Chains A and B, each alone.
Chain A
Amino acid sequence: MIAEAGLAALWLAASMALLQLIAGLTLLRDGAGQLVPLIKPAAYVQGALSTFAFFALMWLFYDTDLSVLLVANNSHIDKPLIFKLAGTWGNHEGSMLLWVAVLSVSGAAIAFFEKRIDTKTLYATLSVQGFIALGFFAFLLFASNPFERLLPAPIEGAGLNPLLQDVGLAFHPPTLYMGYVGLSVAFSFAVGALLTNQVGPAFARAMRPWVLAAWIFLTIGIAAGSYWAYYELGWGGWWFWDPVENASLMPWLAATALLHSASVLATRNALRAWTIMLALVAFAMSMAGTFLVRSGILTSVHAFAVDPERGAFILALMLMYTGIAFVIFALRIGSVKQGEPFQLVSREGGIVANNILLSVILAVVLIGTLYPLAAEAMGDKISVGPPYFNKATVPVMVLLMLALLIGPMLRWRRDELIRIRYWLIGAAAILLLGAIVAWQLAPDIGLFPLLGIAFSLALAVAAWLPLRGRKLLRTPLPVFGMVIAHFGIAVSVFGMAAESGFSSETLTALAPGENAKVAGWEVKLNDVNPIAGDNWVAVEGDMIAAKNGNQFALHPQSRHFFTPPMQTSEAALLTRWNGQLYAVIAQPDQEGDGRWQVRLWWKPFVTFIWYGALLIAFGGAISLFGRMFRRTKKPTRNRWQS
């Protein structure tokens, strides 16, 4: 009964989306129409119905109703409650339902809260939003119905992929989806503004909180995914340039660029066409990401999500939305007037540099991700891996860091480098000093880790300078947000550079009672014990890590799951302030002499990578908070005009 009610809610919500679309079309054709006043109520109803459908599915998972196919395939009566609930979105159909529910609620939120843009643009935006929702409703109803029945019902259910039975990962896909949905809202705003010829500061201000929210979620989602891969896959790495990691990185890059260009448009009414372009690209990238995960056309650790037919559906949706948007872009952008001019050396100039460099990284990642596919089409088989991506992106990132050292110090519209000469000299000094110190510590560190350390130190100082000379209590929150986010980049880059420059590794086979050494740590394998969890058994290493007289226990596991059968490794992580000791235990050694394969890493400052990412997201959140709750102040648009 609940399943049927959920399904009915989805159909009704889809009809609301269709109503929004049709009403919007009549508005564009006639400039008015009887249906137009229904757009906002339709958005509210659509939001409510989609939310209902999502909670209906969650109830079915909570109840473990095995007569529902999705529950039977993805849940199990013995599963812990948290994973039963996470099972709601830990599968294809449920995650798409979550996506649609968030999309619908966002539409309702725009309809309710958005007062800055003119009514016609708002209606156009809501229609586009309805159009997008309609596609995804069709996808749910025709290609991935979450409420499909399975009769007769099985007795216990198939279980959730063990790799996904992890609290961190339960929140990884929904976080990314929130980000993707936020970008779809930006897309709707952009198309709405293009259609109604309202590309200006008001549009940018209306769109900005959505981009910001999307970007915060994407940042957290990417960081969480990276940390998950780091401790769960047991390879000791934190970023693999896996196609699906790239798929989440590309929208993030586009959103980062969009965030900056939207702030130029909002503050200075410049970069109009470019901002629209980025808004379209950002959403196109999130759809491409969903497509890459679901279609399985590229091999990746996310192979559990593969389904070519659904891939084709998402591809069709992606091409339709992106294609239509780019046609509108080509036809209408000519009517968007040139924005305000600015000099090369100015805050805008710095942001343009940021945008160009981010776009270059985006292009490099996109080409690298799709190249194997193109090569295959030419009859060649190639996989593109870290050597390409690192070589091609890291130098651009160094330039980006350079832009970050200078850009935020510059004034809007026009400035002189001579004005900030003391800072330039200071930055050069920190860079030089940082490089020398890093080189002294590790002469064979390699150029880019060396530059990474030097630049992160300089940026750690530079990030705070925009606060200089301001009265802190009267400084707008978004400025604090920017400062914290930029500081977060410094922290994160420092972690990446230290990890790649200073890590040490030991691979060995130990019998109980034997020792291994890594980077000053002495790790003793005391014993190996079998242990059992809710739905798995494991061998667990009982290890003691000692350094400078301090001792710590480590318990890496090699887990074996039954439903479905699968082997995973749980790394043991010992976190110190200056790094992590990372231990993995694998199979008994081949020779059968009672030794176990043990792999140990010392990774200096590796945690800074994720702390930095959290700081970046936190900066974004402060900025978002500032944008949402400072409406009373006069618009800052005219600040630069004397």
Chain B
Amino acid sequence: MKLPWLLWAPLAVTACIGGLAAYGLVVPKDEQVRSAMIGQKLPEFALPPATQGVLPLSNTDMGDGKPRLLNIFASWCIPCKAEAPHLEALKAAGVEIDGIAIRDRPEDVAAFLDEFGNPYRRIGSDSEMAVQLKLGSSGVPETYVIGADGTILFQHIGDIRAEHVPMLIEKLKSTT
């Protein structure tokens, strides 16, 4: 059995690995981890209110025929403070926003809302990050577009900036 071409196999393998490695070097690294839940229904959850005077949040509060934003935030998170005015802008544009406060204390959430305003319809407290994990979120802040039927349509990772506001409004409009 003579297979002379087989002698070139190691070179071919090297070339493939080299190509792959070169590709890995050239392509910029995307450090964000997208949720695997996009396109799926909201998972079941029921969170207690994050502080006094706000409403609790469960999955059945969303998907009741109106698309909404679901904002994951925390009082200890600095980008969350930066995005607060843009959430206010979204609220002013008529968008309903539900919030989930991650690993937070009621008094800290209250202070945060006092200082930066409260754009939220409801705020649940996710002290163990359990719901955050169920949503496939890996950090704060993150914002999800939830469709009228409770489907997770879009995930925005990081703080919302001025340029994201029209985009999010557009996403919400296009779902109805």
Residues on B with beta carbons closer than 8 Å to the beta carbon of A281: 10
Interface check B34, CB cutoff 8 A: yes
Residues on A with beta carbons closer than 8 Å to the beta carbon of B24: 295, 297-298, 373, 376-377
The residue that A327 contacts in the complex, of B11, B17, B21, B30, with Cβ under 8 A, is: B11
Residues on A with beta carbons closer than 8 Å to the beta carbon of B18: 315, 318-319, 323
The residue that B103 contacts in the complex, of A295, A323, A333, A590, with Cβ under 8 A, is: A590
Q: Scoring A residues 270 to 303 as 1 if CB is less than 8 Å from chain B, else 0, what string do you get?
A: 0000000100110010001001000101100000
Residues on A with beta carbons closer than 8 Å to the beta carbon of B4: 334
Interface check A322, CB cutoff 8 A: yes
Please, how many angstroms separate the alpha-carbon atoms of A373 and B18 in the complex?
12
Residues on B with beta carbons closer than 8 Å to the beta carbon of A322: 14
The residue that A333 contacts in the complex, of B7, B30, B34, with Cβ under 8 A, is: B7
Interface check B92, CB cutoff 8 A: no
Q: Are B20 and A373 in contact (CB under 8 A)?
A: yes
Residues on A with beta carbons closer than 8 Å to the beta carbon of B34: 381
B138 to chain A, nearest CB (A): 13
Also in contact, A377 and B20, with CB within 8 A (given A284-B14, A312-B25, A590-B103): yes
Residues on B with beta carbons closer than 8 Å to the beta carbon of A319: 14-15, 18
Residues on A with beta carbons closer than 8 Å to the beta carbon of B8: 326, 330
Please, how many angstroms separate the alpha-carbon atoms of A308 and B22 in the complex?
10
B74 to chain A, nearest CB (A): 12
Q: Are A370 and B17 in contact (CB under 8 A)?
A: yes
Q: Are B10 and A370 in contact (CB under 8 A)?
A: no
Also in contact, A377 and B23, with CB within 8 A (given A315-B18, A323-B14, A326-B10): yes
Task: Find the B residue at minimum CB distance from A363.
Answer: B13
Q: Are A291 and B7 in contact (CB under 8 A)?
A: no
Q: Are A329 and B7 in contact (CB under 8 A)?
A: yes
A299 to chain B, nearest CB (A): 8
Please, how many angstroms separate the alpha-carbon atoms of A281 and B17 in the complex?
13
Q: Are B20 and A370 in contact (CB under 8 A)?
A: yes
Instruction: Count A/B pairs, Cβ under 8 Å.
Output: 62
Q: Are A323 and B21 in contact (CB under 8 A)?
A: no
Interface check B167, CB cutoff 8 A: no
Also in contact, A295 and B23, with CB within 8 A (given A315-B18, A322-B14, A330-B8): no
Q: Which of A142-197 contact B (CB under 8 A)?
A: none
Q: Scoring B residues 17 to 51 as 1 if CB is less than 8 Å from chain A, else 0, what string do you get?
A: 11011111101001001100000000000000000
Task: Determine which residue in B4, B21, B25, B33 has the highest number of CB atoms from chain A within 10 A of its CB, and name it.
Answer: B21
Sample of 30 A–B contacts (CB below 8 Å): A277-B10, A281-B10, A284-B14, A288-B17, A297-B24, A298-B24, A315-B21, A315-B25, A318-B18, A319-B15, A319-B18, A322-B14, A323-B14, A323-B15, A326-B8, A326-B14, A327-B11, A329-B7, A329-B10, A329-B11, A330-B7, A330-B10, A334-B4, A370-B17, A374-B20, A376-B24, A377-B20, A377-B23, A377-B27, A590-B103
Q: Which residues from chain A sit less than 8 Å from chain B, CB to CB?
A: 277, 280-281, 284, 288, 291, 295, 297-298, 308, 311-312, 315, 318-319, 322-323, 326-327, 329-330, 333-334, 370, 373-374, 376-377, 381, 590
With A323-B18, A330-B11 known, 10 other A-B pairs at CB within 8 A are A284-B14, A295-B24, A312-B22, A315-B18, A319-B18, A323-B14, A326-B8, A334-B4, A381-B34, A590-B103
